[in-house]
């Protein structure tokens, strides 16, 4: 039969069947077994783990600090840090505080702070959200907004935390921030906290910024959907604390609208300094303040209080009330400091002449310091913090620092160095400011004396100066030394007038500065080294 | 929260402990070498005793912290509440988009309409639709000392909290249960205020310079010496802002290649500081030593991710009192762990300094430990001292290093002189160096008030969180609608309280928080307690199902019944 034949034909030998069976089993085994190990894994035993734990030695919490590090022992200031300051027991003229408008020693501010202290006590004992909002805070915010001519202002309890909290409130992961490479430290911290992409452009170089913006534009065209949600910001300083340069704001505003980027402006050094009314760099350039999305400044420099503020349109600023970390999670500003800031604002509003005086002084000192051998003055003449740089860097940072430190110490401890003409080097100066005051008093006590007599009295008062010096000093003060026997040569008005002309003649403005420059050039103390590791060493003088 | 809630009972409830141990088995981390291991199930009974004993040895007194579980029904209702709010939020947004409803939000300038939007739409959804409904409970302006009683500025809103207007009236003598005025040093009279005003006259208010430049006035030096003495450490340094003390000093201590172990409920400033430092951050469960130990062991055994190099150093970040939970850190256990695993310990005593311990020296004093065991003692002056600013204390090397490298010292303006003076005077008062016992009395008063207030609340049947000795008392509200209602009802009864909702707490655990102060008298506390009880009945807040002393008619089921009706 057919079937029989077929079956006999299909009947395979037994060994074949067995072989196939084995093969099938093999395949099944292959399918269900792991043929190789992905990774040689052997878990550590308990003992090994214990050994590891036993073996591990952490690094010390902090590296050892050498005991004689120059900045380890801070200079101790006894008494108020006003324009005369006692540093380590030695009275100096203060060229190192950011007290630009001299409001620190203002009696009005003190009185206001005291009356606030009587009313509110010192601390606030809570963040703004939880009974830490005082009526003075609201008033200060309102006043700041009014002063800056913006819609809204928000205050922080610490200047450093202001911009450092404001940036991460808006810029998140994935957003792009264009920053000037000379930006100050608190900006850098804000950038770091925001975790956005940071693109640095060369200091004050608008072409470089535009190049970056163009690059970004090309990038955006590749992925337009993504570009619609990436926020972009330019973060700049009005007056750079690290370089004393002014930002080119009008160009920046142009770029802002061209590339649709928002501008955040940090004005700690320029608020209360630049502009006709001290409104900062926007007023200085005549830029519409609404074109800047956010302005932040601290109240620790010109306002001589503590804290900082941000101002701008409500649309922008209000967001920080829930998202600004330093605002939400920190205790609010002590009311007495807020009250002091309000009073300082009052003074600034009442007397815009302050800013002119400061400007003139800045310009003058800037000019006067030109030509100091070995040092060059950099930055804007209007900057109240002057930066002196070494003309020739030795190439090593430590050596440069040492040299600058030596200069500072020299100026501080040899503050009798004679200011000869406008160059303040060389000859020793033989009378101090105080001596000159004694002389003035002597002359005023009895104007009917000749130089010899005055000289004698002055010597008795403990000053060893020659007769010629006495003569010269008196002339400097605006007295004529040929004193007539009948009546004083100058009445009070004439005296004042002559004093004024004398000052302008000396290119000095204001009595404080006159005496500073001529007589007692004390220590420009601060040495600033740029964050970004540049080699230029800076040497800052603040004029107050 | 509900999951680890039970683990917080230590020497107290065994009922909760067994629950915890059941969970522990699943964790699979059962090693004999661990200090605070979670026992495997079958070993549990024999091991429990010794385990228990080894732990109790560390504590000199009972350490009772309770975090009662959220009742299921309440949890469900809370989620429903948020659901309804969200639905209505979307509806309102829809209406606003179609201009059917007036939008009060500030708008972008016309010139900048084509910019990339500054806020993503959903970013402000919560603010617009949930927060705005109850915004009147926050930022209430006050116009007096934030002492035991305060004067609030009355506000009205014509447009459902979008804007506020001041009526010019003042709500007088509102009992202040919200300020962190633990020792009552927020005063405008007395020695503190007097010395502060003398200091203002002499120094002015600002300094206009940083510590490393010319902002280091003699007052700061005096305060630092005093603070070191107060804390019992070698040296200390003070900073102008508490928040910045954390966020600017942790980066000076830690760097890439270091590990930071941080409690999950740490304050924003600690989190920010840890992030800025660039170190790897790992988070352990709140006050949970097993979780911490596991992380420590893992870190030792596995080293850094990918390279498996050993970590450079390990820092444990904890707070003394957690301000939202009212719990106290388990310091003795942490110190034992830290010593075993050679980690460093950063203790933030923002709320605990002055408020805890028989001598007011914070948690270290509370547990009777040696301050030298804590590597970095940090704290703020805002709370107990009634001033502002923060400090860091520790070994001399540490402080010297910070003097050179702390960002605050180099770049930030130093502390205002009158504030410094306030701290000096109040600290001397606590230490008894002013020749009086006023400070000691304040400390006693605070701890008495705390015990009384917590006991009464518990008896009334509220769910309160935290340690029995902590002056921070969170009272659970759970439902979003009750946040606003509680705050307003309390203000109607002339009591100012803090209510906290979602971003600051887990979503279902909205709460009210009271801060007990030494300045509160027994009468004030009684007034407050009566009002709380009244409002609690009104809003049905007495959720607790625990046995309490003093039966007040409401038992554990009354709440459920009332809701099922």
Inter-axis angle of helices A107-120 and B190-203, nearest 10: 170
Q: How many whole angstroms separate alpha carbon B75 and alpha carbon B506?
A: 12
Q: Do residues A270 and A239 lie in contact, with contact meaning Cβ atoms separated by under 8 Å?
A: yes
Q: How many whole angstroms separate alpha carbon A259 and alpha carbon B372?
A: 57
Whole-angstrom CA distances from A43 to A47, B296, B301, B302, B365 are 11, 17, 11, 11, 42
Inter-axis angle of helices B331-341 and B44-58, nearest 10: 100
Confidence (pLDDT) at B100:
84
Q: How many whole angstroms separate alpha carbon B173 and alpha carbon B184?
A: 16
Global pTM reads 0.80
**CB-based contacts of A34, cutoff 8 Å, min separation 6:** none
Interchain contact B496–A (C-beta under 8 A) = yes
Inter-axis angle of helices A353-368 and A335-350, nearest 10: 90
Q: How far apart are the first and last CA of chain A?
A: 124
> Torsion-angle region of residue B95: left (phi > 0), alpha (psi -120 to 50) or beta?
alpha
Among A223, A204, A288, CA closest to B112 = A288
> In this structure, what DSSP letter does residue B169 have?
E
Interchain contact A526–B (C-beta under 8 A) = yes
> What is the helix (H) or strand (E) element at residue B441, kind and residue range?
helix B438-460
Interchain contact A234–B (C-beta under 8 A) = no
Cβ-Cβ contacts under 8 Å, A138 against chain B:
141
Cβ-Cβ contacts under 8 Å, B178 against chain A:
126, 130-131
Interchain contact B403–A (C-beta under 8 A) = yes
Helix, strand, or coil (residue A238)? coil
Interchain contact A270–B (C-beta under 8 A) = no
Q: Phi and psi for B275 in degrees, rounded to 5?
A: -65, -40
**What proportion of chain B, given as a percentage, has pLDDT over 90?**
64
Q: Do residues A190 and A160 lie in contact, with contact meaning Cβ atoms separated by under 8 Å?
A: no
Mean pLDDT of B251-272: 93
Cβ-Cβ contacts under 8 Å, A114 against chain B:
197, 200-201
Interchain contact A89–B (C-beta under 8 A) = no
> Torsion-angle region of residue B550: left (phi > 0), alpha (psi -120 to 50) or beta?
left
Q: Do residues A454 and A443 lie in contact, with contact meaning Cβ atoms separated by under 8 Å?
A: yes
**pLDDT digits 0-9 by tens, B228-242:** 999 999 999 999 999
| CA angle centred on B64, ends B496 and B506, rounded to 5° | 55
Which ranges of A153-235 would DSSP assign to H, the alpha helix? 159-170, 185-194, 206-222, 224-227
| CA angle centred on A233, ends A231 and A236, rounded to 5° | 170
Strands A308-312 vs A294-298: parallel, antiparallel or unpaired: antiparallel
Interchain contact A36–B (C-beta under 8 A) = no
Cβ-Cβ contacts under 8 Å, B276 against chain A:
189, 192-193
Buried b (16+ CB within 10 A) or exposed e, B510-519: bbbbbbbbbb
Q: How many whole angstroms separate alpha carbon A309 and alpha carbon A147?
A: 12
Query: Mind telling me how many Å the CA of A198 is from chain B's nearest CA?
Result: 15
Mark yes or no for CB contact B248/A318 under 8 Å.
no
* Of the partner residues B204, B301, B403, the one whose CB lies closest to the CB of residue A44: B301
- Which tokens sit at B539? 């809003």
Among B544, B223, B244, CA closest to B390 = B244
- Which tokens sit at A337? 């400091």
> In this structure, what DSSP letter does residue A62 have?
S
**pLDDT digits 0-9 by tens, B82-138:** 999 999 999 998 998 888 888 777 788 888 888 988 888 777 888 888 888 899 999
Confidence (pLDDT) at B215:
87
Place of tokens 């307003």: B488
Cβ-Cβ contacts under 8 Å, B167 against chain A:
none
Chain B residue closest in CA terms to A58: B313
Q: Which of A305-319, B35-49, B338-352 has the lowest mean pLDDT?
A: B35-49
Number of neighbouring beta carbons within 10 Å of residue B42: 9
Question: How large is the greatest C-alpha to C-alpha distance in chain B, in angstroms?
Answer: 75
Q: Do residues A134 and B188 lie in contact, with contact meaning Cβ atoms separated by under 8 Å?
A: no
In the stretch 27-46 of chain B, residues with CB closer than 8 A to chain A read 31-33
In the stretch 339-378 of chain B, residues with CB closer than 8 A to chain A read 340-344, 375-376
- Which tokens sit at B189? 């009279």
Number of neighbouring beta carbons within 10 Å of residue A22: 10
Confidence (pLDDT) at B550:
45
Q: Do residues B302 and B308 lie in contact, with contact meaning Cβ atoms separated by under 8 Å?
A: yes
What's the full length of chain A, in residues? 544
Q: How many whole angstroms separate alpha carbon A402 and alpha carbon A387?
A: 17
Mark yes or no for CB contact B407/A189 under 8 Å.
yes
Chain centroid offset of residue A368 CA = 24
Confidence (pLDDT) at B24:
38
Q: How many whole angstroms separate alpha carbon B334 and alpha carbon B315?
A: 12
Mark yes or no for CB contact B180/A110 under 8 Å.
no
Using CB atoms within 10 A of its CB, is residue A278 exposed (0-12), middle (13-18) or buried (19+)?
Answer: buried
Q: How many whole angstroms separate alpha carbon B63 and alpha carbon B11?
A: 6
> Torsion-angle region of residue A171: left (phi > 0), alpha (psi -120 to 50) or beta?
beta
Q: Phi and psi for B488 in degrees, rounded to 5?
A: -70, -45
The rounded mean pLDDT for chain A is 81
Q: How many whole angstroms separate alpha carbon B526 and alpha carbon A73?
A: 52
Buried b (16+ CB within 10 A) or exposed e, A468-487: ebbbebbebbbbebebeeee
Structure-model confidence comparison of residues B11 and A102, the more confident one: A102
> What is the helix (H) or strand (E) element at residue B175, kind and residue range?
strand B165-176
In the stretch 176-235 of chain B, residues with CB closer than 8 A to chain A read 176, 178-181, 185-188, 192-193, 196-197, 200-209, 211-218, 221
Which ranges of A121-273 would DSSP assign to H, the alpha helix? 135-148, 159-170, 185-194, 206-222, 224-227, 249-259
Buried b (16+ CB within 10 A) or exposed e, B320-334: bbbbbbbbbbbbbbb
What's the full length of chain B, in residues? 565
Q: How many whole angstroms separate alpha carbon B41 and alpha carbon B432?
A: 52
Chain centroid offset of residue A72 CA = 21
- Which tokens sit at A8? 């006999």
Query: Mind telling me how many Å the CA of A312 is from chain B's nearest CA?
Result: 12
Structure-model confidence comparison of residues B48 and A132, the more confident one: A132
- Which tokens sit at B215? 């902002």
In the stretch 1-30 of chain B, residues with CB closer than 8 A to chain A read none
Mean pLDDT of B139-146: 92
Q: How many whole angstroms separate alpha carbon A359 and alpha carbon A367?
A: 12
Which ranges of A299-432 would DSSP assign to H, the alpha helix? 314-317, 320-323, 325-328, 335-350, 353-368, 397-413
* Of the partner residues A71, A228, A315, the one whose CB lies closest to the CB of residue B106: A315
Mean pLDDT of B303-332: 92
Number of neighbouring beta carbons within 10 Å of residue B233: 23
**pLDDT digits 0-9 by tens, B385-437:** 999 999 999 999 999 999 888 888 888 889 999 999 999 999 999 999 988 89
Cβ-Cβ contacts under 8 Å, B233 against chain A:
none
Q: How many whole angstroms separate alpha carbon A473 and alpha carbon A443?
A: 11
> In this structure, what DSSP letter does residue B297 have?
H
**pLDDT digits 0-9 by tens, A143-187:** 999 999 999 999 999 999 999 999 999 999 999 999 999 999 999
Query: Mind telling me how many Å the CA of B15 is from chain A's nearest CA?
Result: 32
Cβ-Cβ contacts under 8 Å, B247 against chain A:
161
Q: How many whole angstroms separate alpha carbon B380 and alpha carbon B247?
A: 13
**pLDDT digits 0-9 by tens, A229-271:** 899 999 999 999 888 899 999 999 999 999 999 999 999 999 9
Interchain contact A205–B (C-beta under 8 A) = no
Chain centroid offset of residue B422 CA = 23
Q: Do residues A537 and A400 lie in contact, with contact meaning Cβ atoms separated by under 8 Å?
A: yes
Interchain contact A123–B (C-beta under 8 A) = yes
Q: How many whole angstroms separate alpha carbon A156 and alpha carbon B135?
A: 20
Number of neighbouring beta carbons within 10 Å of residue B346: 29
* Of the partner residues A60, A160, A329, the one whose CB lies closest to the CB of residue B267: A329
Confidence (pLDDT) at B317:
95
Q: Do residues B413 and A306 lie in contact, with contact meaning Cβ atoms separated by under 8 Å?
A: yes
Written as tens digits, the pLDDT of chain A (544 aa) is 454 554 445 577 889 999 999 999 999 988 887 666 666 566 778 888 888 888 888 999 988 887 777 777 888 888 888 878 888 888 888 888 888 898 988 899 999 999 999 999 999 999 999 999 999 999 999 999 999 999 999 999 999 999 999 999 999 999 999 999 999 999 999 999 999 999 999 999 999 999 999 999 999 999 888 888 899 999 999 999 888 899 999 999 999 999 999 999 999 999 999 999 999 999 999 999 999 999 999 999 989 999 999 999 999 999 999 889 999 999 999 999 999 999 999 999 999 888 999 999 888 888 888 877 778 888 888 888 888 888 877 777 778 878 887 887 777 776 543 333 333 333 445 667 777 778 888 877 777 777 788 888 888 877 777 777 788 777 777 776 554 445 555 677 777 777 666 555 443 333 333 333 322 333 333 333 333 333 333 444 444 3
* Of the partner residues A58, A104, A227, the one whose CB lies closest to the CB of residue B206: A104
> In this structure, what DSSP letter does residue B137 have?
G
The rounded mean pLDDT for chain B is 84
Whole-angstrom CA distances from A39 to A36, A43, B301, B307, B308 are 9, 12, 19, 16, 16
Place of tokens 């008495």: B448
- Which tokens sit at A259? 């590339």
Query: Mind telling me how many Å the CA of B221 is from chain A's nearest CA?
Result: 8
């Amino acid at each position: 039969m057919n079937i029989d034949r077929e079956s006999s034909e299909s009947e395979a030998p037994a060994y074949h069947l067995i072989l196939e069976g084995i093969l099938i089993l093999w395949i099944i085994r292959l399918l269900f077994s792991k043929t190789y190990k992905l990774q040689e894994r052997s878990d550590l035993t308990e003992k090994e783990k214990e050994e590891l734990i036993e073996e591990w030695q952490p690094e010390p919490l902090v590296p050892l600090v050498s005991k004689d590090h120059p900045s380890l022992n801070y200079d101790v200031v006894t008494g108020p840090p006003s324009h005369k300051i006692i540093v380590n027991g030695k009275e100096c003229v203060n060229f190192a505080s950011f007290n630009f408008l001299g409001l620190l020693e203002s009696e009005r501010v003190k009185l206001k702070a005291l009356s606030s202290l009587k009313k509110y006590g010192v601390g606030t004992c809570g963040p703004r959200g939880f009974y830490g909002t005082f009526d003075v805070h609201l008033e200060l915010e309102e006043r700041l907004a009014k002063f800056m001519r913006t819609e809204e202002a928000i205050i922080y309890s610490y200047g450093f935390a202001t911009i450092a909290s404001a940036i991460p409130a808006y810029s998140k992961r994935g957003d792009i921030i264009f920053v000037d490479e000379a930006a100050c430290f608190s900006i850098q911290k804000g950038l770091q906290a925001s975790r956005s992409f940071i693109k640095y452009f060369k200091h004050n170089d608008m072409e470089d910024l535009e190049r970056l913006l163009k690059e970004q534009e090309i990038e955006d065209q590749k992925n337009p959907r993504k570009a619609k949600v990436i926020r972009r910001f330019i973060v700049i300083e009005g007056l750079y604390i690290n370089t004393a340069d002014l930002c080119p704001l009008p160009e920046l505003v142009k770029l802002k609208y061209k590339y649709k980027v928002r501008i955040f402006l940090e004005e700690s050094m320029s608020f209360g300094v630049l502009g006709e009314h001290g409104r900062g760099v926007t007023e200085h350039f005549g830029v519409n303040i609404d074109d800047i999305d956010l302005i932040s400044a601290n109240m620790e420099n010109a306002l001589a209080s503590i804290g900082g503020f941000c101002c701008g349109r409500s649309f922008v600023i209000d967001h920080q009330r829930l998202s600004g970390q330093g605002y939400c999670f920190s205790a609010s500003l002590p009311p007495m400091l807020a009250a002091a800031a309000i009073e300082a604002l009052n003074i600034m509003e009442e007397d815009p002449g302050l800013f002119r005086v400061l400007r003139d002084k800045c310009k003058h000192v800037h000019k006067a310091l030109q030509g100091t051998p070995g040092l060059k003055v950099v930055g804007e003449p209007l900057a109240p913090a002057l930066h002196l740089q070494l003309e020739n860097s030795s190439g090593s940072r430590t050596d440069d620092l040492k040299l600058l430190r030596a200069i500072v110490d020299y100026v501080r401890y040899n503050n009798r160095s004679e200011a000869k003409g406008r160059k303040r080097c060389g000859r020793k100066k033989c009378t101090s400011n105080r001596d000159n005051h004694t002389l003035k008093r002597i002359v005023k006590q009895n104007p009917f004396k000749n130089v010899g007599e005055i000289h004698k009295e002055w010597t008795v008062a403990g000053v060893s100066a020659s007769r010629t010096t006495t003569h010269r000093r008196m002339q400097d003060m605006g007295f004529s030394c040929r004193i007539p026997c009948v009546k004083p040569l100058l009445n009070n008005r004439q005296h004042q007038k002559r004093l004024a002309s004398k000052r302008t003649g000396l290119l000095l403005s204001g009595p404080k500065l006159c005496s500073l420059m001529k007589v007692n050039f004390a220590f420009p103390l601060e040495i600033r080294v740029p964050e970004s590791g540049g080699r230029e060493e800076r040497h800052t003088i603040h004029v107050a | 929260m509900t999951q680890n809630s039970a683990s917080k009972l230590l020497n107290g409830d065994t009922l909760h402990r067994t629950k915890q141990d059941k969970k522990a088995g699943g964790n699979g981390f059962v090693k004999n070498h661990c200090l605070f291991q979670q026992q495997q199930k079958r070993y549990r009974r024999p091991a429990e005793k010794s385990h228990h004993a080894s732990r109790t040895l560390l504590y000199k007194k009972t350490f009772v912290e309770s975090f009662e579980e959220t009742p299921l029904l309440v949890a469900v209702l809370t989620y429903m509440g948020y659901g309804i709010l969200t639905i209505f939020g979307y509806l309102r947004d829809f209406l606003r988009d179609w201009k059917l409803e007036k939008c009060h939000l500030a708008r972008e300038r016309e010139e900048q309409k084509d910019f990339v939007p500054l806020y993503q739409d959903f970013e402000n959804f919560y603010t617009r639709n949930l927060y705005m409904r109850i915004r009147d409970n926050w930022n209430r302006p006050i116009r007096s000392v934030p002492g035991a009683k305060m004067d609030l500025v009355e506000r009205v809103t014509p447009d459902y909290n979008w804007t506020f207007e001041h009526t010019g009236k003042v709500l007088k003598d509102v009992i202040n249960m919200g300020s962190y005025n633990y020792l009552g040093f927020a005063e405008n009279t007395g020695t503190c205020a007097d010395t502060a005003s003398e200091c203002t006259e002499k120094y002015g208010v600002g300094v206009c310079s940083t510590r490393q430049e010319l902002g280091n006035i003699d007052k700061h030096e005096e305060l630092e010496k005093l603070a070191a003495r107060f804390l019992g450490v070698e040296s200390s340094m003070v900073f102008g802002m508490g928040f910045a003390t954390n966020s600017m000093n942790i980066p000076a201590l830690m760097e890439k290649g270091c590990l930071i172990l941080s409690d999950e409920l740490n304050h924003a400033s600690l989190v920010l500081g840890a992030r800025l430092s660039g170190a790897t951050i790992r988070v352990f469960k709140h006050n949970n030593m097993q979780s911490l130990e596991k992380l420590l062991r893992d870190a030792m055994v596995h080293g850094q991710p990918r390279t498996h190099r050993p970590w450079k150093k390990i820092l444990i970040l904890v707070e003394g009192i957690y301000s939202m939970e009212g719990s106290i850190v388990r310091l003795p256990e942490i110190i034992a762990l830290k010593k075993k695993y050679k980690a460093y310990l950063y203790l933030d005593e923002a709320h605990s300094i002055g408020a805890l311990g028989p001598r007011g020296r914070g948690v270290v004093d509370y547990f009777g430990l040696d301050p030298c065991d804590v590597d970095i003692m940090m704290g703020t002056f805002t709370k107990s001292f009634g001033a502002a600013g923060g400090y860091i204390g520790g070994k001399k090397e540490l402080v010297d290093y910070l003097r050179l490298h702390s960002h605050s010292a180099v770049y930030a303006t130093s502390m205002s002189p009158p504030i410094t003076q306030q701290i000096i005077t109040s600290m001397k008062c606590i230490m008894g160096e002013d020749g009086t016992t006023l400070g000691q009395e304040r400390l006693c008063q605070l701890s008495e008030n705390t015990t009384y207030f917590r006991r009464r609340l518990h008896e009334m049947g509220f769910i309160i969180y935290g340690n029995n000795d902590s002056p921070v008392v969170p009272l659970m509200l759970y439902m979003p609608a009750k946040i606003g209602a509680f705050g307003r009802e309390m203000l109607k009864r002339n009591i100012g309280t803090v209510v906290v909702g979602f971003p600051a707490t887990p979503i279902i655990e909205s709460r009210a928080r009271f801060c007990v102060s030494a300045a509160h008298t027994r009468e004030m506390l009684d007034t407050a307690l009566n009002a709380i009880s009244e409002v609690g009945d009104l809003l049905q807040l007495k959720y607790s199902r625990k046995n309490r002393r003093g039966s007040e008619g409401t038992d554990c089921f009354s709440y459920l019944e009332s809701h099922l009706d």
